[in-house]
């Protein structure tokens, strides 16, 4: 009797979830990483990412939704570690999280319905095809990975060398994502549909790449994203988003909208999605951050610490070695020169003064 | 063992003068360090200049040459993406920016494509009397590169 009830309740929960997901229509665009295309016509509407951390594993779920461009284009995603597993993401995880923070107004039968699927040398470590995406994990330095990408048809924008360098200082792993329009067409997908990807990586602390979102964008271009964090306890974040009391530099354009214990209802629904069985049914913390920044402001990533300690400045990309210039700027040289010159002149003047005073004696 | 007072005083004076000289030398070096971002050559008929492209930025970021100087630019691209080095007045730069053009094989003086990690040379002679000093530039015209800041002035003095 109990088992039948449980099965019925689970079916109901799944049914309600699917209905809600369908009810929000086409939904937001999902993507992470920097987009690279031959003609630069790709338009990203808004991106959604979930970074969850449990038992020392980071679960990174994001979707790739290409809104325009030519027949083939792709994306580059910096990774903190070599993924243990790369699988197709669940069907409703990102949508369900969006629903958690943006519940829809009650709608009648005229609500729009979703159409089908919701919308030096680098070494190749892993390759995988998921739906219309070809995923390649490459390991190497900034030059090696960039060269590999250009050799494989990616047209990297002019800021790519600096951005790749920014990430390669912390981790040699990158994931190149190539979208095959022909395969998508054969599968009945259309441009604009999102393919969710779920990466599992073993990391010391969770980490969310943000700077990469501005790759190829003009410095004043708006970059918008929704970032969901699901962790065992409330995370400390660096840089510090607006709405958070914390020490450290502020995160321009990043605001904490929610920070609360995840409801067991949410966890149950997330846990019932494909590949999400690892989600505990209780005791998780949900943080929702909205990013609304100019590309030029996005000079950082989001470092987290879920053990109560301070997040790593290196993970945040705000350590001393992450400046845009490798050496001190010209102004520093000029000030150093002026100071040295002043000291030299003072020393000479003092010497001459002493000699002058001594002469009569 | 203690040196006489007078001598000690003299010794101090020498020691003071040395740091002053060292500091002056450091100051000069530092000043020359700032000047490194601006290459200048006047009074020579031929010159070789090294240019580095790193993170889609030219170094030096500007040049100054005397009219009549023939300059061989040795361009080293440290980036994993291709770049160009195009010398010319504003009309040339406008044309390059607004038209599709093939790779520059170096057959045109002052116009060269530089593949990732490669070094290429091109020679340009600043002889044209129509060159106005504010008109000359060097730039990269691959999509988005000029807008990203890949350009700099060349001052041509009489």
| pLDDT tens per residue, range A200-232 | 999 999 999 999 999 988 899 999 999 999 999
- Reported ipTM: 0.71
- Cβ separation of A334 and B34 shorter than 8 Å? yes
Among partner residues B13, B20, B81, which is closest to A161 by beta-carbon distance? B81
The alpha carbon of residue B127 is apart from the nearest alpha carbon of chain A, in Å, by 32
- Cβ separation of B30 and A336 shorter than 8 Å? yes
Among partner residues B19, B80, B142, which is closest to A161 by beta-carbon distance? B80
Output the pTM of the full model.
0.72
B41, B130 contact by CB (below 8 A) = no
A314, A208 contact by CB (below 8 A) = no
Least confident stretch, A27-36, A180-189, A289-298: A27-36
Look up tokens 């219309």; give the residue. A132
Return the pLDDT at A132: 82
User: Could you give the CA distance from residue B55 to residue A165 in angstroms, rounded to a whole number?
Assistant: 9
Nearest chain A alpha carbon to B57: A158
Q: What is the pLDDT of residues B53-80, one digit of tens each?
A: 999 999 999 999 988 899 999 999 999 9
Q: At CA A286, angle to CA A6 and CA A240, rounded to 5?
A: 175
For residue A120, give both structure tokens. Answer: 């030096």
Q: What is the pLDDT of residues A272-316, one digit of tens each?
A: 999 999 999 999 999 999 999 999 999 999 999 999 999 999 999
Nearest chain B alpha carbon to A160: B55
A→B contacts (Cβ < 8 Å), by residue, are 40, 142-147, 149-150, 155-162, 164-165, 216, 218, 324, 326, 330, 333-334, 336-338, 340-341, 343-344, 347-348, 350-351, 354-355
| Selected residue of A39, A161, A165 to mutate for chain B interface (largest B Cβ count, 10 A) | A161
A177, A135 contact by CB (below 8 A) = yes
Catalogue the long-range contacts made by A317-321 (C-beta closer than 8 Å, 24 or more residues apart). Answer: A317/A166, A317/A170, A317/A211, A318/A238, A318/A239, A318/A249, A321/A169
- Cβ separation of B116 and A146 shorter than 8 Å? yes
- Cβ separation of A158 and B26 shorter than 8 Å? no
Inter-helix orientation angle A160-168/A142-151, to 10°: 130
Q: Could you tell me the CA-to-CA distances from A38 to A70, A150, A261, A356, B133 in Å, in that order?
A: 7, 11, 44, 74, 36
Q: What is the pLDDT of residues A125-156, one digit of tens each?
A: 999 998 888 899 999 999 999 999 988 888 89
Nearest chain B alpha carbon to A145: B80
Instruction: Choose among A209, A217, A265, A196: nearest CA to A28.
Output: A196
């Amino acid at each position: 009797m109990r088992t039948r009830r449980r099965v019925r309740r689970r079916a109901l929960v799944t049914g309600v979830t699917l209905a809600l997901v369908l009810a929000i229509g086409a939904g937001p665009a999902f993507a992470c990483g920097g987009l690279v295309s031959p003609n630069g016509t790709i338009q990203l509407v808004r991106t959604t990412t979930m970074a969850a951390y449990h038992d020392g594993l980071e679960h990174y779920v994001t979707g790739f939704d290409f809104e325009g461009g030519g027949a083939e284009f792709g994306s580059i995603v910096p990774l903190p570690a070599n993924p243990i597993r790369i699988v197709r993401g669940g069907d409703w995880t990102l949508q369900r999280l969006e629903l958690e923070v943006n519940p829809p107004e009650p709608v009648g039968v005229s609500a729009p319905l979703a159409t089908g699927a919701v919308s030096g040398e680098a070494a190749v470590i892993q390759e995988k095809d998921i739906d219309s995406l070809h995923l390649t994990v490459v390991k190497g330095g900034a030059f090696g990975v960039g060269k590999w990408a250009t050799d494989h048809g990616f047209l990297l924008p002019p800021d790519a060398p600096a951005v790749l360098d920014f990430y390669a200082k912390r981790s040699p792993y990158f994931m190149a994502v190539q979208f095959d329009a022909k395969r998508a067409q054969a599968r009945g997908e259309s441009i604009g549909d999102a393919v969710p990807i779920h990466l599992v990586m073993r990391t010391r602390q969770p980490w969310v790449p943000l700077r990469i979102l501005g790759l190829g964008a003009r410095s004043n271009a708006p970059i918008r994203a929704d970032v969901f964090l699901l962790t065992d306890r409330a995370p400390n974040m660096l840089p510090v988003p607006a709405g958070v009391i914390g020490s450290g530099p502020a995160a321009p354009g990043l605001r904490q909208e929610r920070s609360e214990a995840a409801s067991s209802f949410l966890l149950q629904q997330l846990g019932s999605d494909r590949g999400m069985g690892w989600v505990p049914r209780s005791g998780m913390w949900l943080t929702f951050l909205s990013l609304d920044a100019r590309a030029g402001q996005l000079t950082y990533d989001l470092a987290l610490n879920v053990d109560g300690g301070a997040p790593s400045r290196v993970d945040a990309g705000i350590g001393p070695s992450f400046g845009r210039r490798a050496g001190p700027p010209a102004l520093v040289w000029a000030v150093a020169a002026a100071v040295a010159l002043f000291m030299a002149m003072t020393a000479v003047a003092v010497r001459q003064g002493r000699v002058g005073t001594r002469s009569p004696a | 063992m203690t040196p006489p007072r007078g001598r000690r005083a003299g010794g101090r004076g020498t020691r003071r003068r040395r740091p002053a000289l060292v500091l002056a030398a450091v100051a000069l070096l530092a000043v020359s360090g700032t000047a490194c971002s601006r290459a200048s050559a006047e009074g020579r008929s031929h010159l070789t200049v090294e240019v580095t492209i790193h993170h889609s930025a030219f170094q030096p970021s500007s040049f100054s040459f005397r009219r009549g100087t023939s300059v061989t630019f040795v361009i080293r691209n440290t980036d994993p993406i291709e770049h160009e080095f195009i010398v010319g007045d504003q009309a040339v730069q406008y044309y390059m920016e607004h038209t599709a053009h093939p790779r520059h094989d170096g057959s045109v003086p002052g116009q060269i494509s530089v593949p990732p990690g490669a070094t290429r040379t091109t020679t340009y002679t600043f002889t044209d009397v129509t060159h106005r000093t504010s008109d000359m530039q060097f730039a990269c015209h691959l999509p988005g590169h000029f807008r990203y800041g890949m350009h700099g002035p060349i001052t041509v003095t009489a």
